[in-house]
Amino acid sequence: MQEIKIWHNPKCSKSREAMEILKEKKCDAKVVKYLEESPNEDQIKSILKMLDIAPRELMRIKEDIYKELNLKDVKDDEALIEAMAKHPKLIERPIIIKGGRAIIGRPTERIAEFLDS
């Protein structure tokens, strides 16, 4: 079976739901508590490539830090990636990674389908 990894925030209800789905599916996933083990810029770029999305699409735009850093006016993708590396709370969650592919587990119903594919 392919390795499964989840970028997880235990304080997030959707992230906890994702963990339950992994448990129900009997998936032995590597759990990355990304707020404690902050991903670097290269790891974020890798996730963006797997997700096939732009940096802003990975960001939690309602977070206070997003507003404090005035990121809505930033056009430079590299600057957005740097902001996520410095402030991982900006990263949308949960992210499930399997076999060189990834999804953002919102809505959580997507996770089971992704794991079965």
27 a catalytic residue = no
The active-site residue out of 5, 12, 45, 65 is 12
- Listed as own residue / partner, the contacts of 10-19 with beta carbons closer than 8 Å and 24 or more positions apart are 12/93, 12/94, 14/93, 14/94, 14/105, 14/106, 14/108, 15/93, 15/94, 15/105, 17/105, 17/108, 18/94, 18/96, 18/105, 18/108, 18/111, 19/94
Catalytic positions: 12
